[in-house]
Chains A and B, each alone.
Chain A
């Protein structure tokens, strides 16, 4: 069964450093998303991406965040200058638009720890 994959599974970085989180969505999916979950809290939407551009972004997704689909398979989230409060689990998701129905399938997540 096709699945969303994410790398790395864990990343530790120093405050102020840049990190790139990678995702490979399900191959025939057209919509891509990033969410984050601070430890013990709910899952929060960051950004959605369709047709090579951002469809929607939340207030969390400020100028330090960016997304890119550098090739036909990868979907990346870059955090330019990490802060302590960026420590969280980051989930990538993808969906295939079928006439209004949509199920987002999530990857296993990348746990980011900013020291």
Chain B
């Protein structure tokens, strides 16, 4: 059974800092891994999708990497801004099961 863990649960950084969010999963036989952003009380916004055959994906200031052998993915955010403050969730898709989500990392970027 796939389990996804995100550490830390919360993170506070000053504006302009580069940061890394971590995601680990127990079953390395994944089809893809997806990173989402959630603002308070809102739905999930898809940020990046990494297929199992890929090592990384980039979108603007965001870069996500995937290491299936170690069961890890990281989301790198460059030059953080207050507008990046949100909860970031990762989710793994494997087998015939639906997306399995981590509990998220709540990010605060302080101006």
Q: Do A and B come from one complex?
A: no
Which A residues have a C-beta under 8 Å from some C-beta of B?
none
